[in-house]
Amino acid sequence: MTVNEMQERIRKLKAGKGICVLAHSYQGREITEVADYSGDSYQLSVMAAKTNAKTVIMCGVRFMAETVKILSPDKTVYLANPTAGCPMAEQMDKELIEGVKNQFPDYAVVCYINTTAELKTVCDVCVTSSCAVKVCSRIPNKNILFIPDCNLGKFVADQLPEKNFKLLQGGCPVHAAITLRDVEAAKKAHPNALLLVHPECVPAVAAAADYVGSTSGIMEYARKSDAREFIIGTENSIAEHLQYDYPNKRFYTLSKNLICENMKATTLPDLLACLEGVGGEEITLDPDTLKKARRCIDEMIRLSE
């Protein structure tokens, strides 16, 4: 079967069965082309809450499928490839954070959406990279424990000097591996290009950038900018999507190592198998986890509106 034939089969199956396919922007082009919606973590969680479809398939990583289930517990939710997890989401567990909370009882606990549903049950509010500054600025508490990404946490803290942030040592192994040497090499190769990076990069890399923002923020900046060349400092699918979308501009990757193997785990055949009922994993969460984790996500949606 060719890629086109498989895409056609996927389109027919999802239309026939009334299934909504969501794809994070880090997914490959062949997947975003057949998705009903693709976007960043925040946009996907909003779409998950809005869709009328009774079944949703997430092409992304596990915490994203869990977010869909938390927001729509009555829907049947599948993760297209069950092996796709986010290593950052596994870095801190509920017990660890309960221990830290006991030490710092007057801190509001803000978790990045890249966390497990279980960990969200003990947090006050969650954020995505696109709404983190707004949400943190609107939290009444001055003291904020921001977990698990210390790079995103520092990026937010720098913009909110009126707040007192406590950060722990966590982060994205893919983005955090990018160094100033990568920046220097990319700028040397493309001296006229603007550098756009994700806030999961280390502060030194973010400081060297012309723009720091979420995946959708980066895509929007590139769309609106009059510049013709861009170095993209986030998962390399974004540079590829941008090149398809804006063929008159040039997009370069900041490093060939900016590849998230978990985001890349899902293939078009995985999506087809899931639609055919012979692949994917149905996400199930117990009622108590659903209820408590939902408070944390609802609070994000309320504070970011």
82: Cα separation from own chain's centroid: 17
Q: Which residue is listed with tokens 């994203």? A: 64
Q: Which does 41 bind (CB under 5 to 8 A by kind): ligand SF4, ligand 13P, none?
A: ligand 13P
How far is residue 107's CA from residue 100's CA, in Å, rounded to a whole number? 10
Residue 200 is a binding residue for ligand 13P (CB under 6 A): yes
Does 260 bind ligand SF4 (CB under 6 A)? Our answer is: yes
Distance of CA 166 to the CA centre of its chain: 22
Query: Is position 262 an interface residue for ligand 13P (rule: CB under 6 A)?
Result: no
- What is the contact mask toward ligand SF4 in residues 168 to 207, using x (rule: CB under 6 A)? ----x-xx------------------------x-------
Instruction: Report if residue 88 touches ligand SF4, rule: CB under 6 A.
Output: yes
The yes or no reply on residue 237 touching ligand 13P (CB under 6 A) is no
What is the C-alpha to C-alpha distance for residues 205 and 203, in angstroms, rounded to an integer? 5
Phi-psi label, residue 251: left if phi above 0, alpha if psi -120 to 50, beta otherwise? beta
Taking the least distance from each CB to ligand SF4, the nearer of 120 and 175 is: 175
Binds ligand SF4 by CB under 6 A, chosen from 43, 55, 114, 255: 114
With respect to ligand SF4, which residue has the nearer C-beta, 107 or 251? 251
Place of tokens 């990583």: 61
The count of residues interacting with ligand 13P (CB under 6 A) is 10
Q: What is the largest CA-CA distance in the chain?
A: 58
Judged by beta carbon distances under 5 to 8 A according to partner kind, the member of ligand SF4, ligand 13P, none in contact with residue 55 is none
- Which of ligand 13P, ligand SF4, none does residue 262 bind (CB under 5 to 8 Å by kind)? ligand SF4
* Candidate list 23, 31, 86, 183; residue touching ligand SF4; CB under 6 A: 86
Helices marked H in 250-286: 268-275
Strands (E), the chain: 19-24, 37-39, 55-59, 76-79, 108-112, 125-127, 143-147, 164-167, 194-197, 211-212, 229-233, 250-253, 281-282
Instruction: Give least dist CB 20 to ligand SF4, A.
Output: 21
Amino acid making up residue 74: D
Residue 177 near residue 256, CB atoms below 8 Å: no
CB of 18 to ligand 13P, least distance (A): 26
Least separation in angstroms between CB 49 and ligand 13P: 16
Which of 291, 266, 235, 287 has its CA nearest to residue 64?
266
Question: From the CB of 234, what's the least distance to ligand SF4, in Å?
Answer: 8
Enumerate binding residues for ligand 13P (CB under 6 A): 40-41, 114, 128-129, 172, 198, 200, 214-215
Enumerate binding residues for ligand SF4 (CB under 6 A): 61, 86-88, 114, 172, 174-175, 200, 235, 260, 262-263
